[in-house]
Structure 1
Amino acid sequence: MIRSLRVRLMLAATLLAVLFMLALLPAMQGAFSLALKDAIEQRLASDVTTLISAARVEKNQLKMPALLPDEQFNLPDSRLLGYIYDREGHLVWRSRATQEENINYTPRYDGRGNEFASIREDNGEEFFVYDVEVKLLGGKSAAFSFVALQPMREYNMTLAGLRENLYLGFGAALIVLLALLWIGLTWGLRALRRLSQELDQIESGERESLSEQHPRELLRLTGSLNRLLQSEREQRARYRDSLDDLAHSLKTPLAVLQGVSESMAQRPRDRDQAWVLQTQIERMNQQISYQLQRASLRKSGLVRHQVELLPVVKSLCDTLEKVYRDKQVKVSYDIPELSHVPIEQNALLELLGNLLENAYRLCLCQVRISLHQNAHGVEICVEDDGPGVPPDQRARILQRGERLDRQHAGQGIGLAVVKDIIESYDAQLTLDDSTLGGAAFRIHFPAAN
């Protein structure tokens, strides 16, 4: 499917222009052919008039001068042929150029006066014929047919030359027309190109709204987009504020409940109830933390960020190496310089922070981070040489609150947050086995449309 509006318009205009020219060519050729035939008819009529004016009847015999006023009849290789027939169709005179021509033509002396037609010989040669019936010559009664013939070769060559010139002329006109149309479309679509550039600037975070310097036909669209952008910003702000207010409003009651549960845990008979209470408090804390993280890391609807990956990865690994210095983790990078990923920086920090923290915590001594880019998008891969994840448990650990590692403290929401961030960017998270021996988390960001 052709996605360029300019190319679509050009193809439509080209098709219409070609169809118009294809319809116009036969009409022009037909009109020119009729005009050319009319000119030939008039010329032959004039030639026949020359023959008639030169003819004389003496003693019932037709007499023609040795030289005729029309020089074409006197030349042996002339293209103009002249014949005179009597009433019975017998040839009584012929011009010099007809001495080597055997034209199979028999006039019909039927009183119609004159006739313009075309004939075709057995050898395929064609002629235009102008036949005039004469009943009176020099004031004397006579009955003759004066015939002038002209080969159609010149006519056909003229038509062929015209056809070639028409094709060349129409082709050149079509090229010029399409060039002018391309220039016109380029100029006319500048407004859409400028609008596209402003949208790119909004996606990259360089501007917050579209300008009003657009044609009237686009002002309604740009106004709607600006209202949508403003509404999205306000909605995101209200969402974050609401969650912040909720977190603060629950903070004090949860702290009180935590204190009560700790007091109850000191009494042997209340330890079971205290454990239940602490479990529920922990779940509430998980829910609050999870929702706050989702609110702060959701992708904007129109803004598209580009973050250089390698500095972010190195910064996170430097921090984690200090935390897990006793493990002496060996980290390897397979990330090209100046490689970018389409995600906001805070979201990338949260996403990779969770994955790398899990990799450092569960690995034996080796972690690898790589990036692969192709026409389909960008893929980040975080691998370790730890115990890995059994295939039947891979879907479960991506659910909120689910953990396979029970030896270390945690709330079990890290991978769930990672999954939410990835889904908000229309990306995909897959989990499989690493060549290092542990787990390989792959994040695929599709190519931008």
Structure 2
Amino acid sequence: MTPSLHKRVTLGGIGFALLLFIALMVLESYFIQRVAQFYVTTRLEHDGETLLAALQPHPDNQSYELDASRIHPIYLRPFSGHYFQITLPGNTLRSRSLWDEPLNLPQDQALHPRVLTIPGPQGESLLVLIQRYTVGQDAVTIATAESLAQLDPLIRQAQIWSAAAASVLLIVLVILQYRWMSAGLSPLQELQRQLKELQQGKRQQLVLNKAFAELEPLINETNHLITALDDRIGRHRNAIGNLAHALKTPVSALQQLAQSDACDPSFKQALETQLKRIRDRIDNELKRARIAGAQGLREKLNVRDEIIDLSTTLKKIHHHKAIDIVLDIAPGIIINADRQDFLELVGNLLDNACKWARQRVEISAEMTDGGFRLTLEDDGPGCDAAALNRISQRGTRLDEKNPGHGLGLAIAEDIVSQYAGELHFSSSPLGGLAVAVRLPQQG
């Protein structure tokens, strides 16, 4: 299967957008957590300063105590999720919310303030801010903590909303990319349409008004190639025509010589036979030169209507044999071909069948997966196995294979070859020759 440029670029863009989306989600989650941590840390720092201000010397001047009126009530409710622990020389003060459970703080002397996460009194994660102060001559360490159990749902909600917004943006980006790609490839679609019209003979050159600069060399070279091929075909046809017409004059002179009384009768008959062969060859070579082929002007042809007209004409030509031409062709079969080529093809095959038929010729046509199929059969003497083998061999001209089925079948073979089709010979159930033609159908 041929890969699609549109599909490949679109899938590549979607893949890149997904990678970008995943990276964005990871960074966004990290920054949301950092912002939340900064917010909580700022609040813990403020609470630590409040606790420092509430710290007062004990009346015995040997220790310190806290002014309960300056402590926030949330630190008084057991397991409220907000805790503090103040480490003093020879004493430790804890919030009532800890319910006599100590905070498991590290014992190292790292720089302060310090932020870390430790397990809380109920196993929940606590964000702890440790700050060190000097009160008088004493070193005081204040650790304020807040449970992340209440903060995690808010963080997850923020992450979900941000992921939803990013997903919507991703979908919009994919849709826009698809439309941009479609718009960007529209000149190629127009080029494809014009190439099909060119192949059908509906135009002579490619013209794209809004082509990209990258396409202009392709269009120009294609147009130059078309012009060169047309010129070459024209010269070929003219050369054949000129040669044929140039030969007609000496052939006519020889014909007059053959008809003169001075000519020996046996020589006269031999000369007329050879001159007839020359004239037939000239006429058929001219017909070959006129074959348009698959690259010619193609049109939609109703097969049944065209063959009915041909059958009527050939019945008149072979009226002395009273041949019955039977058609098995559905009315709706339409093919794309040059009309002159089609008439030449069917006409030669039908004429050959009528020449050899005794009383009956059958013609059938159908559309198959492989294209258009046409079969002609006659009830004539047919060909033996050796003759069928000779005329079925590829690489030699039909008019050189079997004298009984000469130039007409040769012209048919040339036309079928021009359309990349197949010509098959076999014995007919009627007793004569069966000729099957298959033509691929395009556009």
TM-score, normalization: structure 2?
A: 0.83
Deviates more, 1:290-299 or 1:125-134: 125-134
Distance 2:101 2:195 in 1: 82
Structure 1: where are the runs of 5+ without partners?
A: none
Alignment match, 1:257:
254
Alignment match, 1:65:
67
Judge conservation of contact 1:204–1:306 (CA < 8 Å) in 2.
no
Distance verdict in 2 for CA 1:104–1:70, change over 3 Å: closer
Distance verdict in 2 for CA 1:124–1:228, change over 3 Å: farther
Distance 2:306 2:400 in 1: 27
Distance verdict in 2 for CA 1:2–1:148, change over 3 Å: farther
Distance verdict in 2 for CA 1:164–1:279, change over 3 Å: farther
Which of the residues 178, 183, 186 maps onto 1:187? 183
Alignment match, 1:178:
174
Distance verdict in 2 for CA 1:160–1:419, change over 3 Å: farther
2:68 is paired with a residue of what secondary structure? coil
Alignment match, 1:125:
124
Distance 1:313 1:94 in 2: 107
The residue identity in structure 2 corresponding to 1:149 is A
Q: Does 1:168 pair with 2:170?
A: no
Distance verdict in 2 for CA 1:390–1:142, change over 3 Å: farther
Judge conservation of contact 2:335–2:441 (CA < 8 Å) in 1.
no
- CA deviation after TM superposition for structure 1 residue 54, in Å: 1.6
- CA deviation after TM superposition for structure 1 residue 438, in Å: 4.9
Distance verdict in 2 for CA 1:109–1:7, change over 3 Å: closer
Distance verdict in 2 for CA 1:143–1:220, change over 3 Å: closer
Distance 2:148 2:435 in 1: 84
Distance verdict in 2 for CA 1:433–1:45, change over 3 Å: farther
Q: Does 1:290 pair with 2:284?
A: yes
C-alpha RMSD of the superposition = 3.5
Which of the residues 82, 85, 90 maps onto 2:84? 82
Distance 2:39 2:330 in 1: 82
Judge conservation of contact 1:107–1:145 (CA < 8 Å) in 2.
no
Distance 1:83 1:168 in 2: 41
Distance verdict in 2 for CA 1:327–1:207, change over 3 Å: same
Q: Equivalences for 1:134-153 in 2 at 5 Å?
A: 134-136=133-135, 139=136, 141-153=137-149
- CA deviation after TM superposition for structure 1 residue 282, in Å: 4.9
Judge conservation of contact 1:82–1:148 (CA < 8 Å) in 2.
yes
Which of the residues 359, 378, 399 maps onto 1:401? 399
1:394 is paired with a residue of what secondary structure? helix
The residue identity in structure 1 corresponding to 2:49 is T
Distance 1:199 1:329 in 2: 44
- CA deviation after TM superposition for structure 1 residue 186, in Å: 3.4
Distance 1:120 1:419 in 2: 92
Judge conservation of contact 1:397–1:415 (CA < 8 Å) in 2.
no
| Deviation sequence 1:200-220 (CA, Å, 0-9, x none) | 433333333334634362444
Q: Does 1:241 pair with 2:238?
A: yes
| Deviation sequence 1:259-300 (CA, Å, 0-9, x none) | 5556799647xx4x7677566545544442332121101326
The residue identity in structure 1 corresponding to 2:421 is A
1:235 is paired with a residue of what secondary structure? helix
Distance verdict in 2 for CA 1:256–1:109, change over 3 Å: closer
Deviates more, 1:58-67 or 1:381-390: 381-390
Alignment match, 2:153:
157
Distance 2:240 2:50 in 1: 110
- CA deviation after TM superposition for structure 1 residue 246, in Å: 1.0
Distance 1:347 1:436 in 2: 28
- CA deviation after TM superposition for structure 1 residue 350, in Å: 0.7
Judge conservation of contact 1:329–1:360 (CA < 8 Å) in 2.
no
Percent identity between the two aligned chains: 25
Distance verdict in 2 for CA 1:143–1:285, change over 3 Å: same
Structure 2: where are the runs of 5+ without partners?
A: none
Distance 2:342 2:110 in 1: 103
Distance verdict in 2 for CA 1:298–1:123, change over 3 Å: farther
Q: Does 1:333 pair with 2:328?
A: yes
